[in-house]
Structure 1
Amino acid sequence: MLRQRFTKPSTLRYWQVIVLLVILSITALANAQADDDNLLQKVHQFLYEETRALGEEVVIDLRPPSPHLPECVQPEPFLPNANQAPLGRVSVGVRCGENSRQVRYLQAQIDVIGNYMVAARDIERGALITSNMLSERGGNLGDLSAQALTAEEDIVGKIAQRPIRSGSAFLAHYLQAPHLVERGQRVTVIAQGSAFRVSREGEALENGALGERVRVRFGSREILTARVTDRGTLVVDF
């Protein structure tokens, strides 16, 4: 028969253990809080740098990370939707670790007080947008759609794809850059590199706006893709 004897620790020893555990818990919580503060500070500064040029006043409300997540070493914030301005409710990615193998996401509410463009009058579908069709308005850019275009240079010169009512903000899918190349058009394709430049004439197989890539046919069989740079002109870079 196995017999074990347990000796009840003295009252002093018992309280020494309790005090030690409390000290260790407080230290662990303090270290975790310091790690979270460092992470939040990094993300907050990143978001400020991304938004400060959008308006006169920026308010960033950043939700802290889950307390159950491990420490984020060497945090590197990034925006998952880099093509959209970080306004309103946004998700912010953070790469952690020396090799950035761990990725976590934080939620933020970003309000920017600034100016944006609205339609000064009703605009018909198919109209070319000019500066006298725009009116400037001030407000919280965070209340706008993520697709809203706020700068005049992003709006003027484009074609309305649908009727736009007076006072409405301009959304990206409302507008389209005008075609500089039309399907079936004879176009000039310039092939250029560091030490050469040659041009050929071909037929565009699709419409294309500035910067878009379209297919061009040469003869009966040869087809390549080139970038639209001007009216009736495309470029192939080598």
Structure 2
Amino acid sequence: MTRTIPATTRVSMALVVTLTVASLVAPQARAADKATLDSVRQFLEAQARSLGDDVEVTLYPPAAKFPACPAPSPFLPRASQPPIGRVSVGVKCGEQGRRTRFLQAEVSVIGAHLETALDIAAGETITRDHLVIRHGDLARLPRQALRDAEQAIGRVAMRPLSEGQVLQGYQLRKPRLVNRGEEVTLEARGSGFRVTRSAEALAPGGRGDRIRVRLDNRDVINARVIGKRRLVVDN
């Protein structure tokens, strides 16, 4: 004799099976999510550690459940920018890294930066006495804030700077070693020889800058500034 199971009973049994499977899968999914987020956190901490003394990372996963991501491999889409403040983080998933997930994070780094120790006039050459080192959240500083005294010492202020001002890269320039229109000495070097000749600078420049110069025969070439009114033609 065949026994018919009422529809309501079948629905109840199906619900029990669904809940049972979900109760087994959910912890595994949560563990996978945690493993992915932990890998991202560790990656950001390692990337930012060289920037300061104390690093704090806050992750903002997507509102929806983070998809499964075996063998997560985090990376920064904008690798040239330091991981400070609000950043986007990519995560390559799987052994071949064929799938990529993205999430947002906030990276706070407490580190050193430079401020002016006194008023500085435009055109004044920066010395160590002009500088003071402060510590704070680097994410709150201007993007071009300088953090190392060697980035400033020997450079020239392009505008007046007030005491206690955060020092930024665009406020300084290299000391000018060549002026436009000056007669300069141009060197050409090679294996076992060194030749010099006169030329006219067609632009100003500091050490390491590449500028155009005009030779006696009116030819124009590029050369690199290596000293006061001295340039070299690189091979």
> TM > 0.5 between the two?
yes
The residue identity in structure 1 corresponding to 2:170 is H
Q: Find the aligned partners of 1:9 and 1:211 in 2 and give their Cα distance.
A: 87
Q: 2:114·2:145 contact (CA, 8 Å) conserved in 1?
A: no
Corresponding position of 2:138: 141
Counterpart Cα distance in 1 of 2:219 and 2:65 = 59
Q: Aligned to 2:234, what secondary structure does the other structure show?
A: strand
State the partner residue of 2:15: 18
* Residue 29 (structure 1) shift: 4.6
What secondary structure, in the 3-state scheme, does the structure 2 residue paired with 1:121 have? coil
1:1-238 → structure 2 map (5 Å cutoff)? 10-26=7-23, 29-67=26-64, 70-72=67-69, 74-78=72-76, 80=78, 82=80, 84-87=81-84, 89-94=85-90, 96-97=92-93, 105-185=102-182, 186-190=184-188, 199=195, 201=197, 202-220=199-217, 222-231=219-228, 232-237=230-235
Q: Give a deviation string over 1:110-159, Cα, whole Å, max 9, x none.
A: 22223322111111111111101112223333322222112111111111
Query: Is the CA contact (8 Å cut-off) linking 1:179 and 1:207 kept in structure 2?
Result: yes
Q: Does the aligned pair in 2 maintain the 1:187–1:204 contact within 8 Å?
A: no
Distance 1:215 1:190 in 2: 15
Deviates more, 1:181-190 or 1:168-177: 181-190
Structure 2 residues without counterparts, runs of 5 or longer:
none
Structure 1 distance, partners of 2:200, 2:27, is 69
| Cα offsets for 1:38-93 (capped at 9, x unmatched) | 332233222222322333222222222453664456423125162x4433x23234
- Whether the 8 Å contact between 1:211 and 1:229 is mirrored in structure 2 is yes
Please say which of residues 209-218 and 155-164 is displaced more in the overlay: 209-218
Q: CA 1:175–1:107 in 2, change beyond 3 Å: closer, same or farther?
A: farther
CA distance in 2, matches of 1:80, 1:27: 39
Please report how far the alpha carbon of residue 170 of structure 1 lies from its aligned counterpart in structure 2 after TM superposition.
Answer: 0.2
Distance in 1 of aligned mates of 2:107 and 2:203: 40
How many percent of aligned residue pairs carry the same amino acid? 32
User: Aligned AA for 1:92?
Assistant: S
What secondary structure does 1:37 align onto? helix
Unmatched runs of 5 consecutive residues or more in structure 1: 1-6
Tell me the amino acid that sits aligned with residue 39 of structure 2. K
Is the contact between residue 92 and residue 99 of structure 2 (CA under 8 Å) also seen in structure 1? yes
Distance 2:20 2:195 in 1: 77
Deviation larger for 15-24 or 126-135: 15-24
Query: What letter corresponds to residue 92 of structure 2 in structure 1?
Result: C
TM-score by length of 1: 0.75
Q: Structure 1 pair 142/19, CA: closer, same or farther in 2 (3 Å)?
A: same
Distance 1:144 1:132 in 2: 22
RMSD of equivalent CA atoms:
3.3
Deviation of the 1:31 alpha carbon: 4.9
